[in-house]
Structure 1
Amino acid sequence: MIRRFLDRSISRFSNHYDYDASYMREILDESTAAGLQLAMSSALLQGDFGVSKEAFYAAKIRSVMRADCGPCLRLAMTMAEESGLSPDAVLPALGHGEPTEDAALAIRFADAVLDNSADLAETVEEARKRFGERARIGLAVAVLAGQFYPLLKRGMGHAATCESIVRDYIASNTREEFAHAAE
């Protein structure tokens, strides 16, 4: 029963996002318990802990971009879109456009965590002061989520390298399409 539920969940996810979830199926095929653990991990990795959508997705998209997995980056960008964010809110995490102050801090946070930079403690404290203790955890989860699936896929031999994601994203999604999708 659990296996069928997980199998259907993977199919819905894969179909909804036009995303190759074969690595998820491989885990489930190997072990129903592992498939359930992956689903539970996914629930944690989607938790924003109260940080704004803009900051959460800025950190997540920056992290997944740095993990160098085109399909995962497209997925994160689509999820940001579905949450109601505009291209102007999403593209700065990819280095295109001017981020808001909150997004800029989230991007700096992601970079500091991923680089284990000398200013990491200062950046984490700045995020705590700006967003609050709970939301700071949300930013950390966003950074982890951005790395989790690309690294899992890479380790399982399912990795894909980034294509020119920004150009393709801009070309296929006009501002009007985003406005219509947000309605």
Structure 2
Amino acid sequence: MGALSDRIIAKAERQTGCEMPYLHTLADTSGAAFARWMLAMPATTYRDKASLDAWHLARLGATVAQDCGTCVQVVVSMARKEGLAASTLQLALDDPAQLHDDAQAAFAFGQAVASQAPDVADHVARMEALFGHDVHVELAMAVATCLMFPVIKRGLGQSLSCSMVTVHMD
């Protein structure tokens, strides 16, 4: 799988602006593990009925709760590429309580799920009330799949020396 996996990883790194050593580890250790990881990637981008803001902000909230920076940068870069305003993302990172209600609720939902907050049931109920069942399920899937990245990095010992990074909005 060497050359093919190298091309796939290089493309992902270009698209996100971040190095992905965990993918190199997977590919170098087991082509089968890398292939199965890649099979999961379409699930990480599934969005049907959820608004762009709610979907990306739920992912951002979850990622902020789990990661020190590089995964946050990937989520921000993806959101910007899809048209989410830099000002919205910056507000979410700096002062999420100032986001409009739906956006703040989606961000808080992501954080609550990712951090196993004791009030997660309240956030679940709020998602159902604000967005309906279908969008709530979609946001739960978005949160779950975006957490694959910081978790694999942590499991491989590749986030242990992570340091806070400056998140770029461009």
Same fold (TM over 0.5): yes
- Alignment partner, residue 28 of structure 1: 27
In the alignment, is the contact (CA less than 8 A) between 1:24 and 1:35 conserved in 2? yes
Amino acid at match of 1:155: G
Q: Distance in 2 between matches of 1:110 and 1:65?
A: 9
In the alignment, is the contact (CA less than 8 A) between 2:61 and 2:108 conserved in 1? no
Cα offset, 1:104, TM superposition = 1.1
In the alignment, is the contact (CA less than 8 A) between 1:56 and 1:139 conserved in 2? yes
- Alignment partner, residue 69 of structure 2: 70
Provide structure 1 residue ranges, at least 5 long, that are not aligned to the other structure.
Answer: 179-183
Amino acid at match of 1:10: I
Distance 1:142 1:93, change over 3 A: farther
- Alignment partner, residue 136 of structure 1: 136
Q: Distance in 2 between matches of 1:137 and 1:34?
A: 27
Cα offset, 1:111, TM superposition = 2.9
In the alignment, is the contact (CA less than 8 A) between 1:49 and 1:134 conserved in 2? no
- Alignment partner, residue 166 of structure 2: 165
Q: Distance in 1 between matches of 2:138 and 2:72?
A: 19
Amino acid at match of 2:107: I
Q: Does 1:122 align with 2:129?
A: no
* Identity level (%): 25
Cα offset, 1:80, TM superposition = 0.7
- Alignment partner, residue 8 of structure 1: 7
Q: Distance in 2 between matches of 1:61 and 1:151?
A: 15
Q: Which moved more, 1:109-118 or 1:36-45?
A: 109-118
Q: Which moved more, 1:102-111 or 1:137-146?
A: 137-146
Q: How many residues align?
A: 168
- Alignment partner, residue 147 of structure 2: 147
Deviations 1:84-131 (CA, angstroms, capped at 9, x unpaired): 011222123324362122111102212332343443233213212322
- Alignment partner, residue 55 of structure 1: 54
Distance 1:117 1:154, change over 3 A: closer
Deviations 1:103-162 (CA, angstroms, capped at 9, x unpaired): 111022123323434432332132123223222122112222342211211111211534
Distance 1:91 1:10, change over 3 A: same
Cα offset, 1:81, TM superposition = 0.5
Provide structure 2 residue ranges, at least 5 long, that are not aligned to the other structure.
Answer: none
Distance 1:116 1:163, change over 3 A: closer
Any idea what SS the aligned residue of 1:94 has?
helix
Cα offset, 1:31, TM superposition = 1.6
Amino acid at match of 2:141: V
Any idea what SS the aligned residue of 1:165 has?
coil
In the alignment, is the contact (CA less than 8 A) between 1:67 and 1:146 conserved in 2? no
- Alignment partner, residue 109 of structure 2: 109
Any idea what SS the aligned residue of 1:104 has?
helix
